[in-house]
A and B are shown apart, each in its own frame.
Chain A
């Protein structure tokens, strides 16, 4: 499989397996789903002629035409709202937000129209729609090109909320989302799109990753980090630092927030007795708080120290580098928190 007509890589021999980046993984998922699902429509701003602001849909319109790959006017509300109508008429829709920050302009259509549709029609109508877009800070994008606003959507019943951190997951979760039949909000980490260090081999055969299954990225016995998106890498780096100090940290990547794989988290805490949840959204009412709450309710007896949240400060994401780094989770903050926890 692969992307017809798209430049593959420097490798000349197509039979030689090459490592792929996160954006290529997403692209492959879209091309393959467009091929296998004739009812799939992709729409968004600049996704056709241009191929998307980040190139996720590059070549897609040339392959599938402008009726199925639609350049939409700059109206997030309409991109989502018309997707709802298409779903009502039996289609599956991928709706791209140019940046996930702009999803707020489509908020009503998402939370009141799309998320509730199945519920208010007593199951008569399904909404196979994936609203996806580039998210996340650490890239100097400032207030409106850095957000992680996933918590808004976790608070709107009826939405799946997904956030892959690797190329393999990006492809497998996007495919799963496009086949799920429920509306999904799919957070892509734009800082990971072309990150070479995380490129990996992808299976040749078709695969999808079940929603609601966390993955343990690193095993450890002394403390559990739970995270998603690019903070998973901060946790992994912190685990390396902690190892040098004799603390073995386990790192769990939840991959999907709704549904949440509680079991993997609880099983880990049963082993480590300590928990730090990390996300780059602000702390108050953020998803880290939700995980801490569930652990407190359902796995309290495993804990030997208060569960902690390392998140963005309760601020917007500022622009200048020192400001941005100051408000966001960092490896240093994680190491310090972990040391505090193990000494509790």
Chain B
């Protein structure tokens, strides 16, 4: 099994009969495509900026970088309906504000978190949706349909299944996307939950971010199948493989699975092949340069999702060669990328979130003992 690149070896989609003639991307407008491009910058800038903030000593906690993996979140979330649910994991911090963000980044009514809330969480402030009670990506929102994760890998998949079971019972048509690393597919609960979802044909789409590494362990020591998506066969459900570097391919495959789920046909697994840019977390950056061969890192980093999207947009005629050259964040490490490498609205958006977070107070000490149980009614 090849684990040293983010390229797609084969598309083993087993739902070919259900794949419509038109690909989902063929229905995207020019504005949609440009928005996808902009969102890739947004996700990248979030990562780059936080890495810098951490190096300046402004942040506590570990950073699980999503650098080089942004197309998976952006492409998966773009086609969801506002009412759909998502369940992000540690590497998916941008998912909280990317959900339902389309065109309308500032709208407080949208079914996603504001950048102010997300930044408050990163800085451990009281305006975090979880009032900084748990760290990093362990936030969520019942009202915005974002499932709160724990550290336990794959642990939210049964929760996702339960959410959509209840929604179906209420007559809803919501789909839930759960994001998971390839390593977490070795967990028992991953299999138990997908088995349950398959039995009940529940609309759960499990997106696997196969970045080739689970902390210090390569994918071939986590998963015995050719593609991680092949695990789907055991549940009799579709297993699709997407090029995780190409936001349009991710969009196609995830939307195919989402439509399949919404139509009542059941769950799917969509494996997005990518490559982890840095260490597992920032604490691991140095060691990751030793346990991962140099050639593997270089090969895995050759296909920046921003570059690939840009090339596609130029080919479609949606971007002129001149416009395309404007912001060159791609191919640059966090330390090299400058604010000028990003569209100004992206920089402004995040900066506003950070300014807000810095003014948000720490939670009051006594809150540590609160909310173990419900207040007596």
A interface with B by C-beta (< 8 Å): 41, 67-68, 72-73, 75, 77-78, 80-91, 108-109, 112-113, 116-126, 157-158, 160, 180-182
Contact yes or no, A108 B155, CB < 8 A:
yes
Partner of A120, one of B147, B148, B165, B192: B148
Q: How far is the CB of A247 from chain B (nearest CB, A)?
A: 39
Among B7-15, B49-57, B285-293, B365-373, the stretch in contact with A: B365-373
Contact yes or no, B192 A75, CB < 8 A:
yes
If A77-B158, A125-B142 touch, whether A91 touches B150 (CB-CB below 8 Å) is no
Closest 4 CB pairs of A and B: A85-B162, A81-B158, A82-B162, A89-B166
Contact yes or no, B133 A119, CB < 8 A:
yes
Among B20-28, B40-48, B193-201, B226-234, the stretch in contact with A: B193-201
Contact with A along B340-377 (1 / 0, CB 8 A): 00000000000000000000000000010011111101
Contact yes or no, B162 A89, CB < 8 A:
yes
**How many A-B residue contacts, CB cutoff 8 Å?**
137
Partner of A124, one of B142, B159, B192, B370: B142
Contact yes or no, A118 B159, CB < 8 A:
no
Partner of A81, one of B159, B169, B367, B370: B159
Contact yes or no, B166 A109, CB < 8 A:
no
B residues in contact with A89, CB < 8 Å: 162-163, 166-167, 170
What are 20 A-B contacts with C-beta separation under 8 Å? A73-B192, A73-B195, A73-B199, A75-B195, A77-B158, A82-B159, A82-B161, A85-B160, A87-B162, A88-B147, A108-B152, A113-B156, A116-B150, A121-B129, A121-B140, A121-B142, A121-B148, A122-B131, A124-B129, A157-B372
> Does B138 lie at the interface of the complex (its beta carbon under 8 Å from any beta carbon of A)?
yes
If A108-B152, A109-B189 touch, whether A72 touches B147 (CB-CB below 8 Å) is no
If A67-B169, A109-B158, A120-B138 touch, whether A82 touches B196 (CB-CB below 8 Å) is yes
B residues in contact with A80, CB < 8 Å: 158
Within the assembled complex, what's the spacing in Å between the Cα atoms of A91 and B157?
Answer: 18
Smallest Cβ-Cβ distance to B87: which chain A residue: A85
Within the assembled complex, what's the spacing in Å between the Cα atoms of A67 and B171?
Answer: 12
Q: How far is the CB of A92 from chain B (nearest CB, A)?
A: 10
Partner of B147, one of A75, A77, A85, A182: A85
Contact yes or no, B370 A120, CB < 8 A:
no
Within the assembled complex, what's the spacing in Å between the Cα atoms of A41 and B165?
Answer: 11
A residues in contact with B164, CB < 8 Å: 85
Q: How far is the CB of B99 from chain A (nearest CB, A)?
A: 16
Partner of A88, one of B155, B163, B192, B372: B163
B residues in contact with A123, CB < 8 Å: 370-371, 374-375
